Structure 1
Amino acid sequence: MSDQYSDLRELYQEVIFDHNRHPRNFHAMDDASHRADGHNPLCGDQLTVYARVKNDLVEEVSFVGHGCAISTASASLMTEAVKGKSISDVEALFEDMHAMLTEKHPEARDFGKLEVLSGVREFPARVKCATLAWHTLHNAITQARDTARTE
C-alpha cells in the first residue's frame, strides 16, 4: 500500500470519527415539514431524519438516534451536504451516493466531504450502515410512511 493511499485512508477515518464523536445537526426539529424513521436490524442502527422543506428547497435538516460510527457519521455528513439544496438535487445526490457505496464511483460527481464514505464499499456489511440515513432522508422527502430499512 502506498504512503499516499495510507495517508488518505487515515484522513478519511479521522473525518468519520470526528462526525461520529461530534455529529452535526444532531437534534429533533419541532417545525419539520418532513420526517421519517430508519432502522438497520443487522447493526441495530436507528434514526429519525427531520427536514424543513419550503418552495422545493431543503431549508434545514437534522437527525436523532443511535448507531455505529459509520451510520452516525454518514447521517452527520448527509445533513451538511443537503442543506440548502433543491429536492431534485437531493434525490440525485441520494442516487449517486447509493451508487458510490454499492456499485462504482460515479465519475461525473464531485462528492466533496462525502467522499470519505467511499471506502465503505470495501466492507459490504458496513454499506447498510452508511446508506441508512440516505434511505431515511429519501423516505422523508418523498413522504413515504414506511420505516426505511436496509434489509
Structure 2
Amino acid sequence: MTRMIFINLPVRDLSAAGKFYVAIGGTKNPNFSDERSTCMLLSDAIGVMLLTHDRYSGFTSRKIGDARRESQVLIALSVETRDDVDRTLEKAIAAGGKADPNPVQEHGFMYSRSVEDPDGYVWEIMWMDPAFVSGEKPTS
C-alpha cells in the first residue's frame, strides 16, 4: 500500500471548508466523511481531514488554536504549471479564501502564492520547474 499523509484540521464551518478544499483541487471521500468530518483527497496519497471543533477535540486534550492569529503550519501544495498557481488562487478566493497573506515567492525556477482558508490555515500553492526538480539547470 502507498504511504499516505492526512492533515487533520479543526474547522468552524464544515460546509465552507469543504468548498474551499474543492476549489484547490480536493475531492470528497464519502467513506471518511459524516456530519462532523469531511475527508478531502488532494491526491492518491494526500488527504485533508476537516473536523468540526467537537470532533477534533476527541483526538487531543490540547486547546484548539486560532490559525488567523498565530502561525501554526505552512502547507505547500504543488500544481502542474506556473499559470496553475494563479488559477488555483482565483478558485480558492471565489470559495472563501483570502489571497496572499504571505509574500509572493518568485525565484525563476519556483513560483508560489499563498491563500488562507476560511479558518485561517495558510496554503502555499507552488510550482517548480520540472528541469530544476530533476537536477537540470534551472530556468530564469
| TM-score, with structure 1 as normaliser | 0.26
Max radius of gyration: which structure? 2
Q: Which has the higher strand share?
A: 2
| TM-score, with structure 2 as normaliser | 0.28
